[in-house]
Structure 1
Amino acid sequence: MKTLKSIVLGLALLVACSAAKAIPFADGENLTKTFAINTYVDAMTRGKLQGLDDVVDQNAKFSLLSGKKIVTFTRDEIFQSLKLNKNVEQDCTTSTTVIQSNSDMTVVKVDMQYEKFVRSNYVTIANTGKGWKITNVYSVFK
């Protein structure tokens, strides 16, 4: 009987933990600046896409400087590209620096140091009223 109680208690705990982890981000309560930037870094450097859909605004703009030309991508184009590299770990060292921050928006510089070059991403995160979301990413290669 004691074993049965232990098994039932263990299963109840497992179900409760699983339900707690599955809390949606719809209310924005869990969409913090830190969560947004960590999710972005995980997607870009480790190919981990979980939560990225929640932290990137529907109208987000992604730009990169290619020579003297600026190339712009939509959210959907970036997501398609990231899905091709899902779970692929980049061979780089990553660092983040907050450039500007206030109660409405934050700009974070994400440097990805590869062997022969650095990719600097300037990530703008805005307080949308439904949590902090990425609204703009500008990438420069050095």
Structure 2
Amino acid sequence: MKTLKSFLLGLTLMVVGIIAKADEPEAAKLSKNYAIATYINAMAQGKTEGLDNVLDQSAKFSMLRGKKVLSFSKTDMLNFMNSNANIAQNCTVNTSVVEKESNNDVSVIKVDMQYTDFVRSNYVTVTNTGNGWKITNVYTVFK
């Protein structure tokens, strides 16, 4: 009986260790570069896998259209992106760091999508939320 208890305790500890280890790759994925790459893949290539994980629950999306600012929630954006899944945009994408806070917890990345007749510039705010780097704000302008 004592051997059976020891065996079950060892088995339980092993299972808990495996489950805990399984969470590490997900946490490692939520880096700043992963968040931006996932956003670009969704916007430019229609590859929405992982987008939900890199968008903060309170993420806000704003778009300047003429003199009017349109605002969208995370849910609005995910619904739009999922309805346009696997549709690649005919554009080239360039990124640049606009601002990096000295505490290394917030960055603003400019994502330019160059089309034939115009440029869509997305100013993406990426924040270290404690649960990994997540997109908290995207402001879009057209030139």
TM-score by length of 1: 0.81
Partners in 2 of 1:130 and 1:45 — Cα distance?
26
Indicate the residue corresponding to 1:114 in structure 2.
115
Give 5+ residue unaligned stretches, structure 1.
1-22
Give 1 or 2: higher helix fraction: 2
Correspondence list, 1:1-142, <5 A: 23-24=22-23, 28-102=27-101, 103-142=104-143
On the 8 A contact 1:26/1:130 being kept in 2, the answer is no
Q: What displacement does 1:50 show?
A: 0.8
Q: What displacement does 1:104 show?
A: 1.0
Indicate the residue corresponding to 1:14 in structure 2.
none
On the 8 A contact 1:39/1:51 being kept in 2, the answer is yes
Count of aligned pairs between the two proteins: 121
Structure 2 counterpart SS, 1:86:
coil
Q: Structure 1 stretches (4+) deviating beyond 2 angstroms?
A: 23-30
Return the index of the structure with the highest Cα Rg.
Answer: 2
Partners in 2 of 1:24 and 1:80 — Cα distance?
27
- What amino acid sits opposite 1:136 in the alignment? N
1:103-133 deviation digits (Å, cap 9, x = unpaired): 1100000000000110000000000011000
Q: Percent identity?
A: 52
Aligned in 2, Cα 1:141/1:36: closer, same or farther, shift over 3 Å? same
